Amino acid sequence: MITLRRALRHAVLASLFAAAATAAAPAAGASAATGCDRVAAPGGSNSAAGTEAAPYATAQKLVDSVAPGQVGCLRGGRYSENVRVNHGGTSDSNRVIIRSFPGERAAIHGRLYVPDESNFATFEQLDLNGHDSPMCGTVSDYCQQPSPTVNGDDVIFQDDDVTNDHSGICFALGNQAYGAAQRVIIRRNRIHDCGRIPSSNHDHGIYLSDANDVQILDNVIYDNADRGIQLYPAADRTVVRGNIIDGNGEGVIFSGEGGDTSDDNVVENNVITNAKIRFNVESWYPNGSGSGNVARNNCLYGGKQGNVGTQDGFKATSNLVVDPQYTDRGAKDFRLKPGSPCAAVLAGAQLPAAPLDTSGQPDTQTNAPATATTGNGSTPTTQPSGKPGNVVLQSASVKPSKRRGRSRVRVAGHISGGGARKIKVQMRRGGSWKTIGIVRNVGNTFRIVLNTRVRGLTAADRPTVRVVVPGAVASNPVRARSAR
């Protein structure tokens, strides 16, 4: 019972990699329906109790009030403020978690700063816009502080939308003066429109400076002024895998300066396309080359100066050069069309490849596990399918129909591993969970519509919904939106 309760409250999608963090258990005061220990909402009060009924007003108050092992939820809306994370968690299983309230989407407009002493923090299902971050220089110098800035260790950003509307650097990980960032995970985010236009050669989507053992997984990184990902000057043992990186000034760069070089970084199984200024993959080592850097098994296409620059300090091998066939690149819908030659390269990735839907939730594409071939005679790489693992329910909505006595229920979310042969959609009614529908052969990402009969349900009701994989685990419960 205890294990099930923890999974219901805080199921977080399991990563394909062992280093991915697990969710923390809520404190005893957490809401059973939402899993939120503390809540903030536009129009709340910082002198309130921080509950769903009496929320705080600001994101900063929420972050300050959440203890290790607790979850803080931001109700949907805009929070125009700079947020400093003054404390983190104590371990991977005892994190501070900040996320949007279930079924809603919150936006922080300002700088998000995680200092060196704040570790084991997770930020998920948020819109983060650093356009209004403070300036750090004169107007002529134009230096705007990056957001998110991360100097803490073991920090996770997942299922977020990150931008600054072309005003500066977005993610900045590590700094020699303020602290190296270690074991940071950035996964399933859309990171876009970062950096001044025209290009200044300094503003990137993700900038790793002094950072070690970072994982950049399953993101869509696009339309950033300069590099999509910059590894400079001392970024070591980074894993960049399963991403779509499109339309940046350059795609990925391995780099260093002076006695500092970025070493032992792996860029593999990504689709890297349409660099606007130079190459999709390149390097810059003016004072001694890096070592152990590889770019392999990627799908490359359309770099302005080419797909791979001079291989100084890195080795490019077994990369496929071909049009990936995006669904609608102009609309920023980076889902791959059926039969895309790059599908095998992304096998198993869970990408927020389409723009946010009308509910404010990301629509993801999971590429079916397959045998990835590079098309150049190299040895295929097999991607294992795995078993059903943790389940995350991202959104739910209910629309009752008086005329037919039935209701339309929509649910969307993820299942880690290889999907599930069967899932049950359940609604909490009369103090217990009732199965209202069964769906078979569900992949890693699901969007399900059920037309079902639920007695006594009215248009004013917002029932709690969950998804169960028999023999595996139940999802987090979500209070359903009232659909129109």
Structure tokens at 106: 């919150």
Please name the residue ranges forming H helices in 68-221.
none
Q: What is the sign of the dihedral through the CA atoms of 186, 256, 197 and 245?
A: negative
Task: Give 373-393 pLDDT, tens digit per residue.
Answer: 222 222 322 222 233 446 778
Structure tokens at 133: 């971050």
What pLDDT does residue 477 have? 80
Task: Give 203-241 pLDDT, tens digit per residue.
Answer: 999 999 999 999 999 999 999 999 999 999 999 999 999
As a whole number of angstroms, the distance between CA 267 and CA 218 comes to: 12
As a whole number of angstroms, the distance between CA 63 and CA 73 comes to: 9
What pLDDT does residue 378 have? 29
- Residue 78 pairs with which residues in a beta bridge? 107
State residue 61 phi and psi, 5-degree precision.
-65, -40
Give the Cβ contact number of residue 132 at 10 Å: 17
State residue 59 phi and psi, 5-degree precision.
-65, -35
Mean pLDDT, residues 138-146: 71
Of the chain, the percentage scoring pLDDT greater than 70 comes to 81
458 pLDDT band, cuts 50/70/90, is confident
- Asked whether the beta carbons of 37 and 63 are under 8 A apart, the reply is no
- Residue 100 pairs with which residues in a beta bridge? 74
What pLDDT does residue 126 have? 97
State residue 403 phi and psi, 5-degree precision.
-65, -40
Task: Give 307-350 pLDDT, tens digit per residue.
Answer: 999 999 999 999 999 999 999 999 999 999 999 999 999 988 88
Task: Give 253-273 pLDDT, tens digit per residue.
Answer: 999 998 899 999 999 999 999
403 pLDDT band, cuts 50/70/90, is low
pTM value?
Answer: 0.72
* DSSP codes, 350-393: EEEEEPP-TTS--EEEEPPP-EE--SSSPPPEE--------EEE
Choose between 161 and 399: higher pLDDT: 161
As a whole number of angstroms, the distance between CA 153 and CA 3 comes to: 28
What pLDDT does residue 17 have? 33
CA-nearest of 416, 13, 17 to 215 is: 17
As a whole number of angstroms, the distance between CA 478 and CA 461 comes to: 13
